[in-house]
Amino acid sequence: MSRIGKAPVTITNGVEVSIDANNVVTVKGPKGTLTQEVDSAIEVKIEEGEVVLSRPSDLKDHRAKHGLYRSLIFNMIEGVTIGYKKELELVGVGYRAKSAGQVLELALGYSHPIVIELPKEIKVTAETKKGSNPEVVLESHDKQLIGQVAAKIRSLRKPEPYKGKGVRFKGEFIRRKAGKSASK
């Protein structure tokens, strides 16, 4: 049995979880509403303030989906109560970030600034403190969406291993390489 899948998900105070006939789980909380369609093979029930998932057999596909949907529902409940936050750091000379509403403008060493229109579910702030690298902070209740947007921003200028320049997650370790050494 899946160790993750068999653990029930506790519904915290202020959160409403509902399951409709088409196996669509809807979670409403103080930070927003999220929905997730669950595979018809996985049975979802609400029992005594907990969401319990069960599977019909021990087939590999059923075992995998059992743990997957349990994790997705857990992330939804955590997202609508606490929320998620991703911090990105811009390392490089002349790298800048500005945010205005749902628009993020980045200067990453290209000949033009990069303008990104963010989804309305994501709140963005860009900070530049003197003596440190510019930072972009993304906040949202949807873990999948915030991860996808953060990965997209990082892909615009991935950290390179020689000088360490690029967009990286805060606290991310970049393995550095030695450059060419002078022979003779």
Checking if the pLDDT of 14 tops 60, the result is: yes
Checking if the pLDDT of 61 tops 80, the result is: yes
What fold does the segment set 3-81 form as a domain? Outer Surface Protein A; domain 3 (3.90.930)
* C-beta atoms surrounding 129 within 10 Å: 8
Average pLDDT, the chain: 91
What pLDDT, on a 0 to 100 scale, did the predictor assign at position 2? 56
What pLDDT, on a 0 to 100 scale, did the predictor assign at position 58? 87
CATH 3.90.930.12 segments of the chain:
3-81, 84-169
Q: pTM for the whole thing? A: 0.88
Work out whether strand 16-19 and strand 24-29 pair parallel, antiparallel, or are unpaired. antiparallel
Tell me the Cα Rg of the chain.
21
What tokens does 2 get? 């899946």
Instruction: Among 3.90.930.12, 3.90.1150.110, 3.40.50.300, 3.40.50.2300, name the CATH number for the domain at 84-169.
Output: 3.90.930.12
